[in-house]
Amino acid sequence: MAVSAIGSEPRRASAFWQHLYFWVLIAIVAGTLLGFYQPAQGVALEWLGTGFIKLVKMIIAPVIFLTIVTGIAGMSELRSVGRVAVKAFAYFIFFSTLALIVGLVVGNLVQPGAGMHVDPATLAAGKDAVKVHGYVDQAHDQSVTGFILAIIPTTLVSAFTEGSILQVLLVAILFGVSLALVGEPARPVTDLLERAALVVFRLVRIVMWAAPVGAFGAIAFTIGKYGIGTLVSLGALVGTFYLTSLIFVLGVLGVVGWLSGFSIFALLRYLKAELLLVLGTSSSEAALPALIDKLERAGAAKPVVGLVVPAGYSFNLDGTNIYMTLAALFIAQATGTHLSLGDQIALLGIAMLTSKGAAGVTGAGFITLAATLSIVPSLPVAGMALILGVDRFMSECRSLTNFVGNAVATLVVARWEGALDREALRRALAGAPDLRPAAIGPEADPD
C-alpha cells in the first residue's frame, strides 16, 4: 500500500493493472505486433512517440531547475555543493572510461565484424551515404570550445527554451547559490519555489500516464520502419552489444551496488516502469523526471539527486561509451582496417572526449560515433553506413544502460556524501510504501 497525497491515510495496495509499468509493457507488446504485421501503420504512428517525448521534455527544465535550486538553497553550507560535484565527476570519469575499455576489450575478443570484407568505397556510394554525411556534419559542429560555450545560455530565460540540460543545470546552480548567499531575506522565494515543485511534480505524474501511448507509437514505428529482420543481418554486432551492456550492468554496476549496500536486481525491479518507458521510447530523457522522484523516494538527498542526475545525463553515458568503441572496432574489422594497439589507445582517448556532452536521446550515440571516426584517420567514416540500419535497435540498449548507470551513480555519490537514508533505500527497494509527506511522483503507489 502507499501513502496518500496528504500523507495521513494509508491506501490499499493497487491491483497490478492499476500500475503504470503494466500498461507500458502492454503497449510495447502491442506496438511490436502492429509494427511487424502492419509496417505501414506502425510507421504512421511515429508521431505518438515523438509527441510524448516532446511532452516530457516540456517539463524536464522546470523539474531540474526546481530540484536543484531548492536543494542547494537548503544546504547548510555551500562547500558541500562543490564536494558533491567533485565526487560525481570523479565517478563519471572513472566509469565512463571503464565502459569504453569494456567495449574495446569485447570488440577485440568477439570480433563481430571479422570476415565481412566490405569495401569502404562501395559504402561511400551507397544509399545510406547521404544520411551518414548528415551525421558527420553534425559531429563536425562539436568541439571542446563549442561545447563549453553551448553550456552558457544567451539569456537567463533562454536556458529553459533551448532544450539543453546543461544550460538549465548551470542556471539552477547559480540561482541556488545566490539564494543560499542571500540567506533569510530570500526565504520567501525559496518557499515559493518549493511549492512550485509540488505542482510541477504533480504535473509529471499526470504526463507520465500518457507513457503507454508514447511507447506504443515509438515501438510500432521502429519495428515497422526497420523490421525485426534488420537485426538478423547484423545480429553479431547487436547481440554482442546487448550482451556486453548486460554484463556491464549486472557485473560492474552490480558489484558497485553491492559495495554500496544495495542489490542491482532490486534497483532494476524498483525502476521497472521507467526502464520499460526507456525501452519503448529509446530515450532515457523520457524517464528523467520520474528517476529524480524515485531516487529521492529511495533516500538519496534532494541536492545530490538534483546535481548528479542531470549532470550524469551528459557526462555518465555508460551505454553510449560501450557502443562507441565496440562499433568503431566492428567497422574496422568489417572493412579490413588494421588497428594497432597504439591506434586503439588513441581511439580510446578521443572517445573519452567526444562522448562527453552527448544527450541521452535517440541518435546522439551515432553522432558521437561520427565525431570519433572523423578524428581517427585510419577508420573509414563511410563504414557507419553498415550499422545505420540497426542503430535504432542499439539506441534502446544505449538508453537503458545510460539510465541504470545514472541511477547507480546517484545512489553511490549520495552514500559517499553521507546523504543516503539507508532505511528509506531498503524500504523502497523492498517495495514498501512511500513514507514521505506527499507522494508527488509519477506513481504514488510502489511498483
Non-local (6+) Cβ contacts of 202 within 8 A are 440
The better pLDDT of the pair 298, 72 is held by 298
* Mean model confidence pLDDT for the chain: 79
Task: State residue 423's pLDDT score.
Answer: 92
Q: What is the pLDDT of residues 34-62, one digit of tens each?
A: 988 988 998 898 888 888 878 887 888 88
Q: What is the pLDDT of residue 436?
A: 55
Stretch 106-133: mean pLDDT: 66
Does residue 139 surpass a pLDDT of 50?
A: no
The pLDDT score that the predictor gives to residue 367 is: 67
Average pLDDT over residues 103-125: 76
Q: Say what the pLDDT of residue 7 is.
A: 35
pLDDT of residue 87: 92
Q: Does residue 414 register a pLDDT over 90? A: yes
CB 108, CB 339: distance < 8 Å: no
Q: Name the one residue in this structure whose C-alpha cell is 526565504.
A: 187
Q: Most confidently modeled of 29-43, 57-71, 159-173, 432-446? A: 29-43
For the cut 60, the answer to whether the pLDDT of residue 144 exceeds it is no
The rounded distance, in Å, linking the Cα atoms of 279 and 293 is: 19
Mean pLDDT confidence for 307-321 = 86
What is the reported pLDDT for 127?
47
| 279 contacts 28 by C-beta, under 8 angstroms | yes
Residue 107 and residue 351 in contact, taking contact as beta carbons nearer than 8 Å? no
* Phi, psi of 321, rounded to the nearest 5 degrees: -70, -40
pLDDT average, residue stretch 61-72: 83
pLDDT of 426: 92
Using DSSP, state whether 420 is helix, strand or coil. strand
- Band (11; pLDDT cuts 50, 70, 90): very low
Name the grid cell of 45. 504512428
168-188 pLDDT, tens per residue? 888 888 898 888 888 888 889
**pLDDT class for 420, splitting at 50, 70, 90?**
very high
Sequence-ordered list of residues with C-beta below 8 angstroms from that of 171, at least 6 positions apart, any chain: 65, 153, 156, 159
Q: Which of 253, 375, 273 is closest to 316 using CA atoms?
A: 253
Cell of 238: 547487436
Q: Would you state the pLDDT for residue 364?
A: 61
- Among residues 362, 378, 282, which one has the least CA distance to residue 328? 378
Amino acid at 148: I
CATH T-level assignment (fold) for domain 16-421:
Proton glutamate symport protein (1.10.3860)
* The pLDDT value given to residue 300: 92
Q: Indicate the DSSP class of residue 96.
A: H
Alpha helices in 8-78 (DSSP H): 20-37, 39-44, 46-73
Q: What is the dihedral of CA 357, 164, 396, 218, to 10 degrees?
A: -160
Instruction: Say if residues 291 and 407 touch (Cβ distance below 8 Å).
Output: yes
pLDDT of the residue at 441: 41
Residue (of 275, 308, 294, 243) closest to 107 by Cα position: 243
Tell which residue, 443, 333, 364, has the closest CA to residue 106. 333
CB 402: neighbour CB atoms within 10 A? 30
Instruction: Check whether 129 has a pLDDT greater than 50.
Output: no
At 105 the pLDDT is 93
Residue 9 buriedness (CB in 10 A; 0-12 / 13-18 / 19+): exposed
Residue 360 reports pLDDT greater than 50? no
| Residue-range domain boundaries for the chain | 16-421
CA distance 283 to 397: 10
Q: What is the pLDDT of residue 181?
A: 85
Contacts with 390 (C-beta within 8 Å, 6 or more apart), sequence order: 226, 230, 231, 233, 234, 237, 238
Sequence-distant (6+) residues with CB within 8 A of 54 are none
Is the pLDDT at 226 greater than 50, yes or no? yes
Give the whole-number percent of the chain exceeding pLDDT 70: 78
- Evaluate if pTM is beyond 0.85: no
Report the b/e string of 115-141 with b at 16+ CB within 10 A: eeebebeebbeeebbeebbebbebbee
